[in-house]
Amino acid sequence: MKTLCASLLLAALWSAASLTAADKFTITVSHDLDTPRPAETITLPWTAVQKAIPGALLQKIAVKDATGQVLPYQVTNIDPEAKDPQGKGVAYGELIFQHDFAAGEKSATFTIEKTNTISPVFPAKVFARFVPERLDDFAWENDRIAHRTYGPTLAEPAPAGSNKEVLVTSGLDVWCKAVDYLVVDRWYNKGHDHYHKDEGEGMDMYQVGKSRGCGGTGVWDGKKLYTSRNYKTWKVIANGPIRAIFELTYEPWDANGVKVAEVKRFTVDAGHNLDQIDSTFTFDGAKEIVVAIGLIKDSADKGQDPKIEVGQNKAEGSLTQWCVQKTNGSLGTAIVLPGSTLEGFAEDSLNQLALTKATSGVPVRYYVGAGWTRSGQFPTKESWDAYVTDAAKRANAPIRVKVDE
């Protein structure tokens, strides 16, 4: 009788353990760098989640680190029009969360498990949107920096008797932030130009005009830069809380006899000053083109008597700028081209340029961004240069994600 009871108890315990194991799984994330990787973004296809824990719901899971701490997460929706009547998550793209790898920490393990309770909506650290209240800007930000660019309405001629601004440019603007919360909605609500003065949260002091601003592109023929007009259409693919993804399309333009069109896909992650951009150029009449990614030569605010230093590091794949201003703090900007894709450097009257080659229909990946002294993150040029160096190392040494058996 005792033997039977013991057997039943063991069977019950085994059954409970099996049920628990079926409701969770672990993944191991590894990399090869000795340096820290703060705010490392980890992605896992939702199909892998469904395979490991069938029937998982995006609002009833938990992501935990090795200490058991619950981590904020995000599940992307790859197709807003997709239907999922069987509840298999077929419309979902990726599970996304972040981890701060310490120096020398080359591996970390995480658990994804079903929960009986609904997980909270985590605070958003990224944001992207079309801004119709200011013509047709498109703006985006994270907890460190903000940007905007300009749509076709801004490029249209001003009606007779109006004061409408007219600007034809595909350059990218920078909004400098001194806070880690989201400001785009608040700044636009203040009214146009109100955010050109620092009232404690930061300011728009960057000058774009017809330049490339901070990371705009063009086609370089060895002597001249050929650029598109303002973006034509926009599409938001994901919008936080950890990662925002959106696309901007540009109508074809003539690049010294070659008709070129571009689609830019932006990936904006929390905790990073550089955004990942994948630009797909389509064209006929040439095997490849030379793409130039630019930084405006004089990014300083008006009347700031700037002192600007430019850094070119072909081995690292970076073009950097450090602009010291009289009263508005200093601003670092940068372009990083991973791997050996950086072909060299050039300049025209408005821009410093990083050059790479593009084949029609094949995305070109690069990283673009900025950092401001008043954010408290980059007190010196050296700190900005070190950040860009680390970003280049990370771009060249991606993490590896393995679902544990």
What are 308-347's pLDDT values in tens digits? 999 999 999 999 999 999 999 999 999 999 988 999 999 9
pLDDT value of position 78? 67
Q: What percent of the chain stands above pLDDT 90? A: 82
| Amino acid identity at 188 | Y
Q: What is the pLDDT of residues 149-161, one digit of tens each?
A: 999 999 999 999 8
* pLDDT tens track for 30-50: 999 999 999 999 999 999 999
Average pLDDT over residues 341-368: 97
CA distance 334 to 313: 11
The region, left, alpha or beta by phi > 0 then psi within -120 to 50, assigned to residue 124 is beta
Q: For residues 304 and 284, is the Cβ–Cβ distance under 8 A?
A: no
For residue 7, the model assigns a pLDDT of 39
Per-residue pLDDT averaged across 75-101, rounded? Answer: 82
State the pLDDT at residue 88: 66
* SS3 assignment, position 48: helix
Q: Which two tokens stand for residue 159?
A: 């009606």
Whole-number pLDDT of residue 301:
80
Give the C-alpha distances (Å, rounded to integers) separating 366 from 32, 69, 189, 310, 337: 21, 33, 32, 18, 5
The class (CATH top level) of 126-396 is mainly beta
Q: Which letter does DSSP use for residue 104 in this model?
A: T
Token readout for 278 is 């994948």
pLDDT digits (tens, 9 = 90+) for 177-235: 999 999 999 999 866 667 888 889 999 999 899 999 999 999 999 999 999 999 999 99
* Residue 2 pLDDT > 60: no
pLDDT at 330: 96
Percentage of the chain modeled with pLDDT above 70: 91
Looking at per-residue confidence, does 182 or 303 come out higher? 182
Average pLDDT score over the chain? 92
Tokens 């009347």 locate to 303
Cβ-based neighbours of 81, under 8 Å, separated by 6 or more: none
Judged by DSSP in three states, 49 sits in helix
Domain boundaries, the chain: 22-122, 126-396
Superfamily of domain 22-122: Golgi alpha-mannosidase II (2.60.40.1180)
Residues in the chain: 405
Question: What per-residue confidence (pLDDT) applies to 195?
Answer: 81
Structure tokens at 372: 């401001």
Return all residues near 301 (Cβ < 8 A) that are at least 6 apart.
205, 206, 207, 325, 328
